[in-house]
């Protein structure tokens, strides 16, 4: 009995160990995107008679989804092949994503695939796009949209352009085919200037119109201001003589916003003569004084900016005005208006007596004056003068005479003898001329020769060598001082570095002449000259130039320096290796006799040296000067180690506005002449 029991237990144990081997024929790919199909071929080989259900489940980061099962019955040694597939749709796997494995299970046996990833990511790569646009331009964007599994997207891309800090936006939808997209969007002409965010959203949809894979990218663009109209604004379109015209110009862009730039304002009188022509920043008033006696008329203002022109008229009004002066016993009445002073009277009170000066029936012309003598029995009187404009003078005056009276002082007496005096002056002048003529010929050439020698010696006296071994001399020497009390001010400077100065010592004559040309030109621009070893500094400080706007002259000085050196290298065998920097910063300066004493604040001098050493014969700007010049120059930014420099690519020519204005004025004058000729012929 015991043997039978043991035999039954052995049979049960063997039956329970009956199993099968599960073999995965092909492992999954590394990455799948939503919409892809995963197929896993599997072979089950029985090691004993067995039956059961074969299942395949998807495991992704803690979540499980069964996607396949099949009943199996196999005899020992038999095998069966299955191809289990799952389509990665939201309907099938819901929101399962991430790192996954597939588990195949048959009874107590199971097998796992290698890890793979399920993704919904689309990567967008831009191939053709611009960052700066004008209103009305086309924004063209081309690029690729690739799923993480490496396949091209077949879907859609949505473009949205959003104005910075607003809710304004422009949208457009396009398609993606085989992973490529191309969009062409026209920016409306009234698009506001400023920064915009461009958003690109790519996506695919499944058969149920649900979004599966998606991706996005953003970048910024700038819409520039385009000048569309030029406005002339008067503070007051009617100007009173003796005051100032205040006028400014405003350049409007595509949406009416003002553009910060410059323009040329021209003021013409009623005879079309140009009285003032000046370049002025937009939205900044120009004050033009109008003389107190300027006749009433209509004047014209013409403005030019960014090749737009505008004209406006303002009026000089009529003004009646007199100035009344009481000097001792004399009343002086001066017409300070711009029209004849007519039909007016002035009341004069001498003590208790009142008299009227009513000779204005004959009119006092503009700028003319009349004088009247007061008389009264000898004594001191309170004199009051009141005009119709209520101007009043009250003063105590000592008078003499027989009676209280006011009489006009006639100037005819002087005129009567004027001819006689002129005749006497002419005779005396002729006698002096004869006396001078005798000695003139004898001394003229000697005088000229002496004067030339004297001037030459004078110039030489004021020239100072820059240093013991310096090759140049200057009238405007600068010296660095470590301790100085002076004016703190912002200055511009040019630093010229002669990189092979030691090699050129045998050719001092040529070098000296070339460098002296640079120094002479710098002196014309009121530069102070400072030399430090092989660095020559040309400093434009307000204490010397008498202006705080030295940037333009500094740039011109750098260009002239470059031109002189390049001309030297063209003419002479021994070349000058040089670097030029232009910098801006703060210094403390004080003029002591012929020498400018200065102390550099911060790194003005050291930065200028460093930039000049970087330069290879071209002009490089420092960061501060680049900011000061603004839109007047186009530059290319370069970074050398820790130093940022700017290479000049283009200097905008402001004279083009003047040429444009000149042509505009000539055209107006031509039209006016043709009109006058036509009227004459009619």
Residue 18 tokens read as 């009956």
CA 4 to chain centre: 107
Tell me which residue has tokens 């995965």: 24
pLDDT-based confidence at 619, cuts 50/70/90? very high
Instruction: Say how far apart CA 580 and CA 526 lie, in whole Å.
Output: 19
Mean pLDDT confidence for 256-261 = 90
The more confident residue out of 419 and 550 is: 550
Please say if the pLDDT value at position 665 is more than 80: no
Average pLDDT over residues 193-222: 91
Q: What's the confidence (pLDDT) of residue 115?
A: 93
Average of pLDDT values for 227-235? 93
Q: Residue 204 belongs to what H/E stretch?
A: strand 194-205
pLDDT for the residue 672: 61
d(CA 351, CA 68): 130
Phi-psi region of 556 (alpha: psi -120 to 50; beta: other; left: phi over 0): alpha
What would the mean pLDDT of 247-267 be, rounded to a whole number? Answer: 92
Query: Higher confidence at residue 597 or residue 156?
Result: 156
Handedness of CA 519, 525, 527, 533 (dihedral sign): negative
Exposed, middle or buried: residue 48 (CB in 10 Å: 0-12, 13-18, 19+)? middle
**pLDDT (0 to 100) of residue 421:** 64
Over 90: is that where the pLDDT of 265 sits?
A: yes
Q: How does residue 670 score in pLDDT terms, banded at 50, 70 and 90?
A: low
Q: Residues 6 or more apart from 671 whose CB is under 8 A from it?
A: none
Please state, rounded to an integer, the average pLDDT across all residues of the chain.
83
pLDDT for res 655:
53
pLDDT at 151: 93
Would the CA dihedral through 302, 306, 307, 310 be positive or negative?
Answer: negative
Total residues belonging to the chain = 682
Q: What integer is the mean pLDDT of 527-537?
A: 89
CA 167 to chain centre: 28
Give the confidence band of 615 by pLDDT, cuts at 50, 70, 90. very high
Query: What span, in angstroms and rounded, lies between the C-alpha atoms of 180 and 129?
Result: 14
Q: What is the pLDDT of residue 299?
A: 94
Q: What is the pLDDT of residue 324?
A: 86
Structural tokens at position 136: 């009305």
pTM exceeding 0.95 = no
- For residues 307 and 325, the answer to whether their CB atoms sit within 8 Å is no
Does residue 654 carry a pLDDT above 60? Answer: no
Report the run of H or E that residue 81 belongs to, with start and end. strand 79-87
100 close to 116: Cβ distance less than 8 angstroms: yes
DSSP calls for 337-371:
SSS-B-S--EEEEETTEEEEE-GGGG-B-TT-EEE
For residue 495, give both structure tokens. Answer: 């630093």
Beta strands at 353-357 and 155-163: parallel, antiparallel or unpaired: unpaired
Q: What is the pLDDT of residue 3?
A: 59
Q: Tokens at residue 448, please?
A: 């000229």
Residue entry with tokens 């014309």: 524
According to DSSP, the β-strands at 20-24 and 37-46 are antiparallel
Ordered strands of the 392-399 beta sheet: 353-357, 346-350, 379-387, 392-399
CA distance 311 to 327: 48
Q: What single string gives the DSSP state of each residue in 8-60?
A: HHHHHHHHHT--EEEEESSPPPSEEETT-EEEEEEEEEESSSEEEEEEEEEEE
Q: Give the pLDDT confidence score for residue 506 in this predicted structure.
A: 64
- Which residue did the predictor score with more confidence, 383 or 673? 383
How far apart CA 45 and CA 54 sit, in angstroms, is: 12
Helices then strands, counting H and E runs in the chain, come out as: 10, 44
When mean pLDDT is compared across 73-77, 81-85, 172-176, 362-366, the lowest value belongs to 362-366
pLDDT at residue 569 tops 90 = no
464 vs 490, residue with greater confidence: 490
pLDDT score for 10 = 44
* pLDDT tens digits along 431-458: 676 766 655 444 444 443 444 444 444 4
Using pLDDT thresholds of 50, 70 and 90, give the confidence band for residue 361. Answer: low
Quote the percentage of the chain above a pLDDT of 70. 83
Asked whether residue 508 carries a pLDDT value surpassing 70, the answer given is no
The secondary element (H helix, E strand) that includes residue 535 is strand 535-540
CA distance 511 to 600: 28
Contacts of 147 (CB under 8 A, 6+ apart): 33, 119, 121, 122, 123, 153, 213
| Per-residue pLDDT reduced to its tens digit, 269-318 | 999 999 899 998 999 999 999 988 889 999 999 999 998 999 999 999 98
Which residue bears the tokens 């303002």? 314
Average pLDDT of 662-666? 57
The C-alpha atoms of residue 382 and residue 394 are separated, in whole angstroms, by: 7
User: Looking at 78-92, 501-515, 651-665, which range is the least confident one?
Assistant: 651-665
| 455 Cβ neighbours under 8 A, 6+ residues apart | none
* Sequence-ordered list of residues with C-beta below 8 angstroms from that of 24, at least 6 positions apart, any chain: 40, 41, 42, 104, 111, 113
Alpha-carbon separation of residue 187 from 167, 200, 640 (angstroms): 17, 16, 38
């Amino acid at each position: 009995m015991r043997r039978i029991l043991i035999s039954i237990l052995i049979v049960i144990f063997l039956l329970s160990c009956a199993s099968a081997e599960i073999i995965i024929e092909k492992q999954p790919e590394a990455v799948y995107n939503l919409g892809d199909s995963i197929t896993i071929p599997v072979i089950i080989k029985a090691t004993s008679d067995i039956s059961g259900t074969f299942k395949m489940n998807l495991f992704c980061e803690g979540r499980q989804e069964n996607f396949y099962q099949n009943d199996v019955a196999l005899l020992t040694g038999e095998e069966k092949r299955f191809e289990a597939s799952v389509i990665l749709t939201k309907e099938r796997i819901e929101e399962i994503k991430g790192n996954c494995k597939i588990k195949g299970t048959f009874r107590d046996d199971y097998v796992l695939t290698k890890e793979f990833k399920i993704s919904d990511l689309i990567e967008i790569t831009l191939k053709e796009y611009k960052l700066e646009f004008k209103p009305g331009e086309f924004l063209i964007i081309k690029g690729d949209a690739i799923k993480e599994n490496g396949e091209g997207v077949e879907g859609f891309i949505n473009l949205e352009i959003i104005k910075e800090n607003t809710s304004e936006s422009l949208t457009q939808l396009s398609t993606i085919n085989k992973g490529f997209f191309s969009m062409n969007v026209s920016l409306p002409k009234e698009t506001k200037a400023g920064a915009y965010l461009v958003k690109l959203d790519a996506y695919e949809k499944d058969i149920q119109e649900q979004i599966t894979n998606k991706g996005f990218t953003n970048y910024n663009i700038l819409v520039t201001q385009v000048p569309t109209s030029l406005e002339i604004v008067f503070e007051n379109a009617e100007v009173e003589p003796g005051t100032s015209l205040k006028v400014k110009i405003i350049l409007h862009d595509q949406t009416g916003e003002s553009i910060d730039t410059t323009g040329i304002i021209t003021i013409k009188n009623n005879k079309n003569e140009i009285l003032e022509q000046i370049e002025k920043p937009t939205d900044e008033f120009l004050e033009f004084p109008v003389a107190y006696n300027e006749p009433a008329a209509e004047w014209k203002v013409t403005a030019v900016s960014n090749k737009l022109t505008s004209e406006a008229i303002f009026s000089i009004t009529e003004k009646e005005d007199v100035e009344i002066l009481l000097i001792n016993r004399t009343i002086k009445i001066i017409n300070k208006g711009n029209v004849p002073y007519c039909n007016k009277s002035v009341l004069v009170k001498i003590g208790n007596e009142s008299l009227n000066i009513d000779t204005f029936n004959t009119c006092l012309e503009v700028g003319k004056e009349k004088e009247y003598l007061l008389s009264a029995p000898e004594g001191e009187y309170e004199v009051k003068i009141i005009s119709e404009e209520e101007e009043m003078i009250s003063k105590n005056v000592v008078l003499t005479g027989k009676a209280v009276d006011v009489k006009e002082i006639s100037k005819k007496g002087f005129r009567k003898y004027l001819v006689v005096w002129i005749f006497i002056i002419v005779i005396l002048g002729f006698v002096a001329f004869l006396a001078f003529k005798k000695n003139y010929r004898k001394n003229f050439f000697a005088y000229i020769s002496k004067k030339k020698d004297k001037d030459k010696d004078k110039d030489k006296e004021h020239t100072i060598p820059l240093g013991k071994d310096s090759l140049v001399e200057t009238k405007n020497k600068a010296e660095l001082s470590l301790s100085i009390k002076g004016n703190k001010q912002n200055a511009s400077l040019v630093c010229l570095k002669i990189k092979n100065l030691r090699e050129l010592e045998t050719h001092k004559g040529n070098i000296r002449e070339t460098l002296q040309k640079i120094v002479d030109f710098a002196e014309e621009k009121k530069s102070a000259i400072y030399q430090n070893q092989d660095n020559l500094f040309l400093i434009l400080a307000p204490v010397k130039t008498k202006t705080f706007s030295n940037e333009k002259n500094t740039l011109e000085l750098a260009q002239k320096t470059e031109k002189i050196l390049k001309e030297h290298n063209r003419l002479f065998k021994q070349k000058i290796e040089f670097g030029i920097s232009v910098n801006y910063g703060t210094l403390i300066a004080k003029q002591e006799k012929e020498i400018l004493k200065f102390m550099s604040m911060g790194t003005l001098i050291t930065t200028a040296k460093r930039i000049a050493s970087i330069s290879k014969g071209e002009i490089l700007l420092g960061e501060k000067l680049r900011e000061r010049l603004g839109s007047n120059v186009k530059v290319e930014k370069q970074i050398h180690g820790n130093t940022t420099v700017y290479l000049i690519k283009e200097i905008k020519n402001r004279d083009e506005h003047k040429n444009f204005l000149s042509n505009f004025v000539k055209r107006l004058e031509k039209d006016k002449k043709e009109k006058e000729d036509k009227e004459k012929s009619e």
